[in-house]
Amino acid sequence: MAIPARRTRLARVGATVTVVAALFTSLLTGVADAHGSTTDPPSRNYGCWQRWGSDFQNPTMAQQDPMCWQAWQADTNAMWNWNGLYRENVAGNHQGVIPNGQLCSGGRTGGMRYAALDNPGQWKAATKSRQFTLTVTDQARHGADYLRVYVTRQGFDPTTQQLGWGNLELVATTGRYAPAGTYQVAVNAGSRTGRHVVYVIWQASHMDQSYYFCSDVIFQ
């Protein structure tokens, strides 16, 4: 009976090692998975997560917040991973890598996960004055090489038109930010009025990791 007992003990030790390794891996993954997004004005998927994350199967969303509804129906992971909309090794060639019509999904990064964010429609929009402060939240404290903020040209209609690079004007570009929880940029949207999309590129500093966020706003 000595041999089976020894095998059992070894098996228990083996199982314990496996559990500890799995815990360690999930801890590491948890850290690696935490990135960020534009939280003010809220990016499309961050806003959908904020408003509906605790109630995402509520059918009244289809009427109250139809673009969030279609995004939740398409892939819930776009909201659970609101902080994970990035590409790697773009080498600064954002316009070359991201096709027109796919700006809000970062060129469909991760396959179709974020593709519903590209769809034109009645996205809930934050009301802003034309001079406002934009906030990117960085849960992972990556730092930033730069932030670039674009706003759509006056006349572009995000409820019916797909967003392309030609629809955007660069309104702010920054230098580096040391790692912190949030980065803020003063944005001046000029004489724009009504509904617009604010498009942000966050170039993280820990590696070549580039983030792309669409936020819907209505300028007063």
Can you give the binding site for Cu ion, defined by CB under 5 A?
35, 140
| Alpha helical stretches, state H, 34-144 | 44-52, 61-64, 66-74, 77-80, 94-97
Q: CB–CB of 128/217 below 8 Å?
A: yes
The least CB distance from residue 40 to Cu ion, in Å, is 19
Q: CB–CB of 137/168 below 8 Å?
A: no
The least CB distance from residue 117 to Cu ion, in Å, is 18
Cα(103)–Cα(11) distance, integer angstroms:
51
Tell me the DSSP string of 28-49.
HHHHHH--EEEEETBBHHHHHH
Taking CB positions, which residue lies at the least distance from Cu ion? Answer: 35
**Which amino acid does the sequence have at 174?**
T
Nearer residue to Cu ion within complex by CB, 137 or 215: 137
The least CB distance from residue 35 to Cu ion, in Å, is 3
Nearer residue to Cu ion within complex by CB, 29 or 100: 29
Terminal C-alpha separation, the chain: 82
The least CB distance from residue 36 to Cu ion, in Å, is 7
Nearer residue to Cu ion within complex by CB, 142 or 196: 142
The least CB distance from residue 59 to Cu ion, in Å, is 34
Nearer residue to Cu ion within complex by CB, 34 or 74: 34
Nearer residue to Cu ion within complex by CB, 209 or 215: 209
